[in-house]
Structure 1
Amino acid sequence: MKAVIQRVSSAQVAVHGELVGQIGRGIMVLLGVEKGDSEAAADWLAEKIVGLRIFEDEAGKMNRALTDIGGAVLAVSQFTLAGNCDKGRRPSFDTAAPADEGKRLYDHFVGALKRQGVPVQTGIFQADMQVALVNDGPVTFILERR
């Protein structure tokens, strides 16, 4: 399971021009689910993301977590994170989880975030989404867990 996380001032996701998820200050998560990923990996990622101290304190140091600042999460499924571009010019998605398993683990991840006590907004699984965000910093991390 791969997650690209970005500290944001704001983020939103739309489907067919209709806004389906929006947050202010917080973390934008793009989540890719691969074959062999587990609920334990989703739980670990959710806990890690909520607890990461990537927000600045009064001294300007990254010392505050999402819960410390009262932030939210916008979680969007991102199938292409499972892409492999090592050979040729066209990505291979052989390692991506089948759609039903990907949705199950994405939903589990979203539930795990909510159980951490933070507000969560989402995109729509398998939809063609338009994502807009203001990356604060910029601050971006890539997390992986099997």
Structure 2
Amino acid sequence: MTALHRAAAQAGIARRWLDAGGETQIVSDETLRLVLEALGESRADQPQALHTAWVGQALRLPGRPGAARVIYEDGSTQALTALKAPGGIVLPGLERAGYHRIEIGARTHDIAIAPGRAYGLAQRRGGSGAGLAAICAAPDG
């Protein structure tokens, strides 16, 4: 079973069916892709995009409105509501930077939330570092 066929099954789309004459019919992959797109499902035969936003920035995704769940990189979760927006849905901004996952129905989206600002060397806690290989390398010559 291909990723496209699994996505169709998860969306409740029957790939095989019996016609009025009792003959088995099979829905083409192109039709499955078009139906999944019309339902707002991801293109299962293509790599999934990494969605990005800043901390606190609303996140726009493809899909349908409804209950959503964020799974943070530390394993904790948060319930959210995905609202209808042009071209898909919008979720409220997340306040935790990092790589997380959002589940909306049977769909999952990988997301990266960037911090509001980056810190310079003078503002970091701790010192600078160097790789062990760089420190222990024999001098040239």
TM value normalised by structure 1: 0.23
Larger C-alpha radius of gyration, 1 or 2?
Answer: 2
Question: Relative to total residues, which structure has the larger helix share, 1 or 2?
Answer: 1
Question: Relative to total residues, which structure has the larger strand share, 1 or 2?
Answer: 1
